[in-house]
Structure 1
Amino acid sequence: MIRKLVFNAKVVLKQQPKFQLVKHLATNSESPKIVQLQQIHIDEAVKLEPNLSIFTSEVWRRAHETFQNHGLETGNFLRIVTGNPGVLRRTPDKIINSLEIWRACQFGENLLHLLLTKYPELLDVSDSHQLLSHIGFLKSRVSTSKNVWKLLMNSPDVIAQPEEVVEEKLNLMVDVMRLEVPEIVKSCALTLPFEELRCRHAFLLRLGLFKPRPLKADPDEPTTNPKLYQITDTSEKTFATKICHVTLPEFEAFKELYAKELEGKSRRSKEAEDLSDDED
């Protein structure tokens, strides 16, 4: 079930004003405590997500009570169902099971609620064994559960990427770009395809705008390199004009030439291997 999940962090960020409106409706200015679900909350949620109109008040009440019993406030509940209407189709037991699958990742309740509220699609994960295996792999690369959580907050689609794909990107950032884990987990770098990440890094290198740190350098020592988020969390136009100080057409031309360069290297490497096999 994990591989079928599709995330687009940029789309989610564009939806934040909508979620903020829902959250505002569920917040009583006189009391910060959890409020009861009211019809006005449901009506406004339906305006924002028409697919919610098919559910009865009883379904809303039952689901809200289930989430509330597990520590999620009304505002969080509304953001979750607005972002993932299918949650309301589930029985309380299935909702609880979805929450328990993620609790097993041991992020802590507060961090888990933030993650599920920001990316309600994560509640569609149903294979606990596969999830825990993937989380374990990520933890082996970024050291702590907190770093895994940060990774997911910035690149939620990493949960649906095969381990070898994630590994390839992390190896590039750690071994080639020589970046530290804290910088990696604060960026959306793992959302980029490997080819795009490699291309942007190569472009900066050839412009003389990026120099890998010496192997034994102090990670806290200042560097003139662009921050990773500036390299990866930007559009092609912003990356080209603001980070590389060139025009977008110049970067696009480089991408084409670089792809041909890599293709040529791959072809020559294969020809060399074939020649070696023939000699054997």
Structure 2
Amino acid sequence: MGTHVCRKRMLRWMWGWSVCPVAVSRGHMPFCYTHQANPSHSGPVTHRPGNQLTLCSLLEMGFSETQAKEMHEGATKSRWKHVPSVLTALLLLGLNPSTILKIMQKCPEVYSLKGADLQQRIDHLRKMGLVEGSLQRMISHYPKVMLLPVKRVNMVPRLLREKCLFTIHQVTDILRDSPEVLEEDLAQLEFKFQYVYFRMGVRQPEMVKAKLFRLPLSELRCRHCFLERRGLYQTPDKKGQTLILNPPLKDVLCVSEETYLTQVAMATAEEFHVFRKLMAREQEEKGREDEYSSDEDEEDKDDDDEHWNTGYKKDRK
């Protein structure tokens, strides 16, 4: 169903049409939403947006009968206090009923939002450069973005611009294609960038094209090191030159494991599986070594502090 039709039906529902022919013909009259005049007032009835969600109102908003039942059940379980205003915001955004239902199924926490809070988050994403089309795609793919505090949403773009030196346009593309990055640990996010920039010799435009931030750091490192140890990837020198032709980053990251093995690594799944285990063991041992070194450094620091304090006391006498 077209966006224009969905919006038209939504506006009709907001102004409280008192008759729902579909519901009446199917015996759903008890579920219909109707505005009733207050008997204590003799003046004309003022129509206001309804604050209740019914099967009839969902049908008027463009949901099919099956979709309306599913939406009504989900809203009822969540006590659906603010659901009408949330649906209004999503419909005005241009999302169709089918997409909205999928969003609610994927992220039921959206039921708990207030319409005003949701609209504030949508407006903030627009200010970040997510225009029509990109914004709808982002919310449909990753509805959890509507639950994140504005402060958290701002932290990741700031890191990408200031620490990783992506352009504003590149940051917008990253958020559109990899919205999960908004929840990633900032230190891990920066380390992933540094690994690809310094270790693999890849620059920002290629990172964006390869959708770098969709892949976990562990998988990124595993695929790269596997190629490196097979002599198929080489870290560029200071001039950006290598003795071999490295595969493009998108061919390493943006493909399935099967395609990666057959077309890039030229290896079997068994070989990669064994290598993955070895990599995990190496990282575990390195973690223990780092922890042991950290403990030793802490002990040395304590000893230095003790000697310093002793000497300081002597000077004070």
- TM-score, length-scaled by structure 1: 0.69
Match of 1:246?
267
Matched, 1:82 2:102: yes
Sort the Cα spacing of 1:52 and 1:170 in 2 relative to 1 into closer, same or farther, 3 A.
Answer: farther
Gaps (5+ residues) in structure 2?
Answer: 11-57, 77-81, 305-317
Distance in 1 (CA, whole Å) between partners of 2:282 and 2:203 is 29
Tell me the amino acid that sits aligned with residue 250 of structure 2.
Y
Measure how far apart 1:150 and its partner are.
1.8
CA 264–246 in structure 1, closer or farther in 2 if over 3 Å, else same: same
Which of 42, 51, 71 aligns to 2:63? It is 42
Give the fraction of aligned pairs with identical amino acids, expressed as a percent: 24
Q: Is there any run of 5+ residues in structure 1 with no aligned partner, and where?
A: 1-25
Map 1:77-226 to 2 at 5 A: 78-84=98-104, 86=108, 87-88=110-111, 90-125=113-148, 127-140=149-162, 141-217=164-240, 224-226=245-247
Partner of 1:228: 249
Q: Which amino acid is the alignment partner of residue 147 of structure 1?
A: Q
Gap change, CA 1:44 and 1:181, over 3 Å in 2: farther
User: Which residue in 1 is equivalent to 2:38?
Assistant: none
Counterpart-to-counterpart distance in 2, 1:61 and 1:260: 52
Counterpart contact for 2:211–2:254, Cα < 8 Å? yes
**What SS does structure 2 have at the residue aligned with 1:107?**
coil
The answer on whether the counterparts of 1:46 and 1:53 sit within 8 Å (CA) in structure 2 is: no
Q: Give the equivalent residue in structure 1 for 2:2.
A: 27
* Superposition RMSD in Å: 3.9
d(CA) in 1 for partners of 2:74 and 2:94?
23
Q: Residue by residue, what CA displacement relative to the aligned partner does 1:221-277 show, whole Å, maximum 9, x if unpaired? A: xx8322223222334343223321111110111122233344555666777785995
In the aligned structure 1, how far is the partner of 2:264 from the partner of 2:65? Answer: 41
SS of structure 2 residue aligned to 1:42: coil
CA distance in 1, matches of 2:65, 2:212: 35
Contact 2:94 2:136 in 1 (8 A): no
Contact 2:95–2:136 (8 Å) recurs in 1: no
SS at match of 2:233: coil
Q: Does 1:257 align with 2:232?
A: no
Shift of 1:163: 0.6
For residues 53 and 191 of structure 1, the distance between their equivalents in structure 2, rounded to whole angstroms, comes to 33
SS at 2:63 equivalent: helix
TM-score normalised per structure 2: 0.62
Alignment of 1:46-57 (within 5 A): 46=67, 50-55=70-75
Separation in structure 2 between the aligned mates of residue 114 and residue 143 of structure 1, nearest angstrom: 22
Partner residue in 1 for 2:307: none
Corresponding letter in the other structure for 2:2: T
Report the CA distance shift for 1:159/1:52 in structure 2 as closer, same or farther (over 3 A).
farther
Rounded to whole Å, the distance in 2 between the matches of 1:81 and 1:270 is: 47
Contact residue 151 and residue 186 of structure 1 kept, 8 A: no
Equivalent residues of 2:134, 2:176 under 8 A apart = no
Which amino acid in 1 is paired with 2:153?
Answer: L
Q: Which has the higher contact order (CA 8 A, sep 6+)?
A: 1
Residue pair 1:45, 1:78 contacting (<8 A) in 2 also: no
- Cα distance change, pair 113–266 in 1 and its aligned pair in 2 (3 A): closer
Relative to structure 2, which stretch is displaced further, 157-166 or 128-137? 128-137
Distance 1:270 1:216 in 2: 36
Partners in 2 of 1:60 and 1:264 — Cα distance?
Answer: 50
- Aligned pair count? 243
